[in-house]
Amino acid sequence: MKGAPDPSILTKRLVLSRIARADVDDLVAMLRNPGLYGFIGDAPASEADARARAERWLAGSPDPTVLWINYVARTREDGMLVGLAQATVLRASETVFGQCEIAYLVDPPAQRHGYGAEMMVGFCVELNGTLAPEEFTAHIFPGHTASEGVAKAVGLSPTEDYVDGERVWRATASRMG
């Protein structure tokens, strides 16, 4: 392992930073927006459930063999919340990481502007360069073309595997750049 992910990741239009208490209200608003649930299913989170989820993200994984890495993405121009980039990384040893499962949410007002791909490419480049996990995976609902486009942008390819109705996309870390 080269080191921990940088606390701040810059892309052309975005600043990604580790989730902080100051982000909770914006994350709660995003999780309560019905537009977020078009493909991921379920209903908008209640205020209490959204706040509890954000608190879990802040606290991190209770399992020392699993890292939860959560970054918020905001526009460089005005600091508007764009979304959340997430990674669940399995620790093979103190300095070796196995699978890195990535996920993301784009706030509905920020959708359809290419922010998801920009956010996740920057995030995955940082994770690959610092943690060097053996492979990256993502679970994507079939037909969710926006998420499939993001997966392709970060170098993932669809597999024949499914988990809970979602197709597993995968790439070895060496394919990630």
CA dihedral for 1, 73, 100, 154, sign (positive or negative): negative
User: 């493909």: which residue's tokens?
Assistant: 39
pLDDT at 1 over 60: no
- In terms of phi and psi (left: phi > 0; alpha: psi -120 to 50; beta: otherwise), the region of 25 is alpha
Region 147-176: mean pLDDT is: 91
Hey, which residues does 163 pair with through a beta bridge? 166
What are the b/e assignments for 29-66, b being 16+ CB within 10 Å? Answer: ebbebeebeeeeeeeebeeeebbeebeebbeeeeeeee
Q: Give residue 103's pLDDT.
A: 95
pLDDT confidence tier of residue 3, bands split at 50, 70 and 90 = low
pLDDT confidence tier of residue 123, bands split at 50, 70 and 90 = very high
Percent of the chain residues topping a pLDDT of 90: 74
* pLDDT tens digits, 124-161: 999 999 998 999 999 999 988 999 999 999 999 999 99
* pLDDT tens digits, 76-98: 999 999 999 999 999 888 778 88
pLDDT confidence tier of residue 172, bands split at 50, 70 and 90 = confident
Give first-to-last CA distance, the chain, whole Å: 16
* pLDDT tens digits, 39-62: 666 777 789 999 999 999 999 999
All domains of the chain in start order, with CATH: 8-176 (3.40.630.30)
**What is the rounded average pLDDT for all residues in the chain?**
90
Q: How is 6-29 classified by DSSP, letter by letter?
A: PSEEE-SSEEEEE--GGGHHHHHH
Q: Diameter of the chain by CA atoms?
A: 41
